[in-house]
Structure formats: C-alpha cells, structure tokens
Amino acid sequence: MPFQILVNIFIAFLWMFFQDEWNFLSFLSGYIVGLIILFFIRRFFQKPFYLFFVWAALKLLFVFARELVSSAIVVIGQILRPKINITPGIFRIETDLEGDVEITLLSLLICLTPGSVVMEVTPDGKSLYVHAMDIPDSKESVLKSQIIFERAIKDVTRKYV
C-alpha cells in the first residue's frame, strides 16, 4: 500500500511538471489521474487498491464519531438530572477480534466513548472487562457499539491490509 501511494504521488508530480504549472490545482488533477491509472492496474499489485483502505478507515472514523455523539448525549442526560441516579459496575465483553492491533483499537474506541472504560484485557485477548457509568443503559450501549466497532475494525485490518 505505501508503494501505491508513492507511485500516485510520483504520477501527480509528473503531471504537474508536464503541465508546466507548479500549483496545487495541477498537482491535484495529477493525483486524480494517478488514482485512475492505479485503479486500472491494481491487479498487478500484491495488495488491494489503497483507496479501499482509506474508505474503510473513514467509515471507521464516522462510526466512532456517531457512537461518540450518541453516548455523550446519554452521559449529559445523566449529569443534568436533578438527582443523579446511576449504578456503576463492571461487566465482561467477549470479542472475536484477533491480534494486538485489533484488540487495542477496540479498547481505545470503547474508552473514548463517554461513560465506559476498558479496565483489563484477558491474557488470551478474547474478553475485555469494562467499567460502565450506568449498568443497564451503558451496558447495552457498549455492547451495541462493540458490534459496530468490530465490524468496522475487521473491514480496516483484515480486508485491505
């Protein structure tokens, strides 16, 4: 994949030099021409076309942003109540992700959503212990987020790398 990016940048510079205009617009048009060329010759590369990976990573970022906003709304709702009525607790999540990168990414995404913190990962990497702010509501939210995050993480780490 880094090779494809370097080739695309090289094509963009060549395009810019052949146009005899050294500006960003000329470089951008060359980059787009390079994308088209690389797309048509993608079968000669060992790795998939790198734009597919970029698209999957952007989808993961969008999924995270959506879950971040929804969990932040829940936490703000809990905080703004006149009487805080929460039941914090710890629960266990089973995961089918493999490898340190995937487990770490899932742990970080869960930690970055408000109201939940990953406390520990089991040594085999198949379970996570999560502390939630309000067990009935937060547990369901974290489990729903976990399913969505796992699907997006698998798209990024398994399909295109």
Token duo for residue 153: 């993480």
**Percent of the chain at pLDDT above 70?**
99
Q: What are the residue boundaries of the structural domains of the chain, listed by start?
A: 2-44, 51-159
Nearest CA to 133 among 146, 116, 110, 111?
116
| pLDDT greater than 80 at residue 1 | no
Cβ within 8 Å of residue 2, ≥6 positions away: none
Contact 42/1 with Cβ under 8 angstroms?
A: no
Q: Give the model's pLDDT for residue 10.
A: 94
Which single residue is written with the structure tokens 């590369």? 45
Q: 3-state DSSP call for residue 82?
A: coil
| pLDDT greater than 70 at residue 160 | no
pLDDT digits (tens, 9 = 90+) for 87-121: 899 999 999 998 899 999 999 999 988 888 999 99
